[in-house]
């Protein structure tokens, strides 16, 4: 079973303003993520994982009448949270996906303590086999 685990952080004045953290805290945070990813990879569960650029660099795109991209700023100011990274895992059960999400939630924050960020867990759908 494949799942996407999406790590969300508070928008604006929330705890996840990683570019304002002390360099040591950023290094600790990244080391935690690399260690988690290495463990998942060794277990054969990691399909992919990436951190994402901050929301100020995000854009919303849709195709116009000619199929050309229409690009606008996004996400919008009313957003309470934003996606900071994700994992794609291939695991035996949803319970295992939940365990991985809980581990990811424990990433250290600006003071070194676990952040307890919410991780959205969604099963990846598969196309029907005719």
In total, how many domains does the chain have? 1
Inside any domain, residue 63: no
Inside any domain, residue 47: yes
Supply 14's token pair: 């929330």
Per-position pLDDT tens, the chain of length 130: 999 999 988 766 555 678 788 999 999 999 999 999 999 999 999 999 998 887 778 888 899 999 999 998 865 656 677 888 999 999 999 999 999 999 999 999 989 999 998 899 999 998 888 7
Full residue range of the structural domain in which residue 95 is found: 2-52+81-123
**Cross-strand pairs, 46:** 89
Neighbours of 98 (CB within 10 A): 15
Inside any domain, residue 31: yes
Inside any domain, residue 62: no
Inside any domain, residue 129: no
What CA dihedral angle connects 41, 24, 56 and 102, to 10 degrees?
Answer: 40
Inside any domain, residue 65: no
In this predicted structure, what is the pLDDT of residue 101?
97
Inside any domain, residue 8: yes
Inside any domain, residue 67: no
Q: What CATH number is attached to the domain comprising 20?
A: 3.30.70.1060
Under 8 Å between Cβ of 26 and 75? no
């Amino acid at each position: 079973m494949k799942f996407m685990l999406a790590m969300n952080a508070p928008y604006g004045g929330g705890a996840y303003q990683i570019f304002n953290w002390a360099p040591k805290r950023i290094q600790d945070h990244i080391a935690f993520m690399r260690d988690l990813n290495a463990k998942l990879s060794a277990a054969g569960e990691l399909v992919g994982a990436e951190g994402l650029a901050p929301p100020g660099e995000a854009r919303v795109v849709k195709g116009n009448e000619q199929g050309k991209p229409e690009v606008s700023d996004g996400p919008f100011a009313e957003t309470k949270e934003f996606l900071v990274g994700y994992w794609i895992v291939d695991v035996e059960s949803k319970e295992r996906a939940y365990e991985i999400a809980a581990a990811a939630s424990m990433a250290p924050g600006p003071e070194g303590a676990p952040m307890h960020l919410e991780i959205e867990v969604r099963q990846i759908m598969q196309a029907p086999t005719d």
